């Protein structure tokens, strides 16, 4: 790691499995105080990890989450907005309730968490927010209409919200993920769909979690106070 | 439970905090009649947001209770509860009273 963060208070949403779990384990192992949340329980413990059961798509649950963080840690340095739902389904075969569930988790939930995180970050006049989007947004991959739209909405939310808080030392940046090893993304696609996806990328290799950490650390650094409203895509996509 | 004078002190604290970021001519007076929102108010929209957020956070610190001031209830009222320090204090007291009764 070329730019180690000083020990920070970090919230990672969707931390019970996949990318969120890997990130939570990594940052707790680095000595940061990590709060994680998900609707279920994680299957790991660490003395620098505190899990809070929460549904990011439920406002009262998000308020309770931040009450707990505020009570325990008093401030927040970094939010990794990871929680979300994946959906690979052609739009014409997607029902309203499924579409709403994805939009609530990926957009509304991310918004609620960002809103409360910013309030907490304003206390110390410092904060870093890293949202996760997807290469499916610029690629417009067939079968990802609702998912991509939810992520595109999140990208634009960051675009505007970063303006509303520009005078604060709080930045909002987004990482557009491609396929991540061990996240369930590749496993959710059949072999043909996986090959098609990889063919659309300049850099098709599955991402290792260390690559994502590298970018998070860059955006989260105290040295990047002038970098906000940026989207960095993996996979060679623009 | 925070009493009304405590709520007013929280609002004054938030005003003082905000004033430190404002040029002298734009600073707010710490009085019950100070206009916070609407015509004759000195705050721009982002200043107003920062004030409300600061008040919410301080109320939470003082009471342990998370409150959301700018919700549908507030926005639907004919007379804005954010109009002055006095009306905001009344509004916060109504929220805290409802919460302790509920």
The model's pLDDT over A110-162, given as tens digits with 9 standing for 90+, comes to 999 999 999 999 988 999 999 999 999 999 988 889 999 999 999 999 999 99
CA distance B36 to A3: 43
- The nearest CA of chain A is from the CA of B53 a distance in Å of 6
Smallest CA-to-CA distance from A119 within A72, A156, A66 is with A66
Cβ B46–A164 below 8 Å, yes or no? yes
Which chain B residues contact residue A63 at CB under 8 A?
66, 68
Query: Which residue among A64, A119, A167 places its CB closest to the CB of B56?
Result: A119
CB atoms within 10 A of CB A4: 10
Confidence (pTM): 0.88
What pLDDT was estimated at residue B73?
78
The whole-number average pLDDT for the span A181-190 is: 69
Which chain B residues contact residue A167 at CB under 8 A?
21, 46
CA distance A147 to A9: 30
Cβ B60–A67 below 8 Å, yes or no? yes
Q: To the nearest whole number, what is the mean pLDDT of chain A?
A: 91
Is residue A24 within 8 A of residue A49, CB to CB? The reply is: yes
Residue A133's beta-bridge partner residues? A176
Q: To the nearest whole number, what is the mean pLDDT of chain B?
A: 90
> Which among B17, B18, B53 is the top mutation candidate for probing chain A, defined by the most A β-carbons within 10 Å of its own β-carbon?
B53
ipTM of this predicted structure: 0.73
* CB-based contact, A163 to chain B, within 8 Å: no
E strands, A119-188, are: 127-134, 170-177
What pLDDT was estimated at residue A185?
66
The predicted-structure confidence for A6-16, as pLDDT tens digits, reads as follows 789 999 999 99
CA distance A185 to A9: 28
What pLDDT was estimated at residue A89?
85
A147 catalytic per annotation: yes
Which of the four pLDDT bands, split at 50, 70 and 90, describes residue A184?
Answer: low
Supply the Cα-derived Rg of chain A in whole angstroms. 17
Residue A231's beta-bridge partner residues? A174
CB under 8 Å to B51, separation ≥6 — which residues?
B14, B15, B18, B36, B43
Read off the tokens for A20: 């969120």
Q: State which residue of chain A sits closest to B59, comparing Cα positions.
A: A67
- The nearest CA of chain A is from the CA of B22 a distance in Å of 12
Read off the tokens for A179: 């396929």
CA distance A154 to A213: 20
Which of the four pLDDT bands, split at 50, 70 and 90, describes residue A48?
Answer: very high
């Amino acid at each position: 790691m070329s730019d180690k963060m000083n020990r920070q208070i970090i919230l990672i949403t969707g931390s019970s499995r996949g990318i969120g779990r890997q990130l939570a384990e990594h940052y707790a192992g680095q000595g940061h105080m990590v709060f994680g949340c998900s609707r279920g329980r994680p299957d790991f413990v660490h003395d620098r990890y505190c899990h809070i059961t929460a549904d990011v798509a439920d406002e009262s649950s998000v308020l309770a989450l931040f009450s707990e963080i505020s009570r325990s840690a008093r401030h927040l340095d970094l939010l990794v907005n990871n929680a979300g739902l994946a959906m690979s389904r052609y739009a014409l075969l997607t029902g309203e309730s499924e579409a709403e569930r994805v939009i609530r988790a990926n957009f509304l939930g991310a918004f609620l968490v960002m809103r409360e995180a910013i309030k907490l970050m304003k206390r110390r006049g410092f904060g870093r927010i890293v949202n996760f989007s997807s290469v499916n947004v610029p690629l417009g991959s067939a079968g990802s209409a609702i998912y991509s739209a939810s992520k595109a909405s999140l990208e634009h939310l960051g675009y505007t919200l970063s303006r509303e808080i520009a005078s604060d030392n709080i930045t909002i940046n987004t990482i557009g993920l491609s396929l991540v090893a061990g996240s369930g993304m590749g496993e959710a696609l059949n072999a043909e769909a996986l090959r098609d996806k990889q063919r659309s990328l300049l850099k098709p290799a599955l991402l290792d979690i260390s690559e994502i950490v590298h970018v998070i650390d860059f955006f989260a650094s105290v040295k990047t106070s002038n970098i906000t409203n940026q989207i960095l895509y993996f996979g060679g996509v623009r | 439970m925070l009493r009304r004078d405590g709520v007013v002190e929280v609002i004054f604290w938030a005003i003082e905090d905000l004033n430190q970021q404002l040029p002298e001519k734009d600073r707010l007076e710490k009085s019950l009649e100070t206009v916070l929102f609407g015509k004759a108010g000195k705050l721009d929209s982002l200043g107003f947001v920062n004030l409300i957020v600061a008040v919410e956070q301080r109320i939470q610190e003082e009471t342990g209770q998370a409150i959301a001031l700018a919700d549908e209830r507030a926005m639907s009222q004919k007379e804005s509860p954010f109009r002055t320090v006095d009306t905001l204090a009344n509004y916060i007291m109504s929220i805290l009273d409802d919460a302790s009764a509920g």
